[in-house]
Copies of this chain bind each other. A is one copy, B any other.
Amino acid sequence: MKQQRIGKRTIRFRCPPSILAWSGIVGQKEGEGPLGSCFDRVGQDAMFGEKTWEAAESAMQKEAIETALKKGNIRKEDIDCIFAGDLLGQLIATSFGLADFSIPLFGVYGACSTMGESMGLAAMAVDGGYAQKAAAVTSSHFASAEKTFRFPLDYGNQRPLSATWTVTGSGAVIIGEYHPSGQRQVRITAMTAGRIVDYGIKDSMNMGACMAPAAADTLTAYLNDTGEDAESFDKIITGDLGYIGQKILIDLMRKKNIDISLQHTDCGIEIYDKETQDTHAGGSGCGCSAVTLTSWILPRMLSGEWRRVFFMPTGALLSPISFNEGQSVPGIAHGIVLEAGV
């Protein structure tokens, strides 16, 4: 098999798979934000008809896939496998959300970078001929994440300004073989997988700072591997660095003489209104990049506004146990190249 690698870390797909269909399901707060009108559904409350936050998150994942299938007019029987994950211990939002589909499942975990990881692996599966159609789905839920990583909501604790707000939402994409249709479509042309980058930061209330070095590492690897400039992208969009992480990423890239200040934005910045929504440093969670991709990035690429986007979900690799045992918060970022064309 001919190697599909460029440089040390980048994969170029031989027949770049298409994103055939997608969906974004979010909670009430996300519905009140700047992208509110873009989502497929905004929940009336945080429970999505369930009794626990975890079950609510599962319900969102299920609805995200069902909605994507419906919008794409694709039968669930035609999905060969699902790559999916969430932030909860042992991926329970995923397990209980996707069980009913009876579709082979690859559980993946890259913290908030999981949508990049799952889309990259799904693209590999399709491009390599191991699946005709594969789904990638991730979710996060403000309340289940706060309970897991910080404090139960009922404590009413104060959040520092550097903290991000975990997005309640689930985004799904269906990835399949490319067929020319005469219609504009978005394809996944390349991937640079992330590696763990640990600057030794221990502040779990400043995850933007923890993840920005990993984003700089992955973006630099892609540019070095391909010889491309940052200007070759209409947009470079990270997952959930927020305002603080964005500043650090731009600074780190500038030290390498790469200016991404014009191209860069971040899903965690776009999803909330900083002034009116009290979300401090921005949005986060593996639902954040997933729903911003499906409800904001992909539509803009289809409309012709952007042709080429470097989509790079970012993850902070901590657990309550590692944090309480005094470990640092390493970061990881998986980069995906999206290109629109007919």
Contacts and interface: CB of A to CB of B under 8 A. Distances in A.
Contact of A117 (B85, B90, B106): B106
Contacts of A121: 106, 121
This protein's copies in its complex? 2
A104 B193 contact: yes
Given A102-B195, A109-B108, A193-B106, A2 B129 contact: yes
A176 to B, nearest CB: 12
B3 A105 contact: no
Interface stretch (A248-256, A294-302, A319-327): A319-327
A196 B94 CA distance: 10
A95 interface: yes
A193 B4 contact: no
Interface stretch (A8-16, A28-36, A62-70, A262-270): A8-16
B99 A325 contact: no
Interface in A75-110: 80-81, 85, 87-92, 95-96, 98-99, 102-110
Contacts of A92: 317-319, 321-322, 327
A131 interface: yes
Interface of A: 1-5, 9, 11, 14-15, 52, 54-55, 80-81, 85, 87-92, 95-96, 98-99, 102-111, 117, 121, 124-125, 127-132, 148, 177, 192-196, 198, 317-322, 325, 327, 330, 332
Contact of A1 (B80, B89, B129, B321): B129
A312 to B, nearest CB: 14
Given A5-B130, A127-B128, 13 more contacts: A1-B14, A3-B129, A3-B132, A4-B128, A88-B89, A89-B148, A90-B111, A90-B317, A104-B194, A105-B196, A106-B121, A109-B109, A124-B128
A137 to B, nearest CB: 14
A103 B317 contact: no
Contact of A108 (B89, B107, B124, B327): B107
Contact of A105 (B102, B106, B320, B332): B332
B54 A104 contact: no
Nearest to A2: B129
Most B CB atoms within 10 A — which of A98, A121, A177? A121
B89 A195 contact: no
Most B CB atoms within 10 A — which of A54, A130, A332? A130
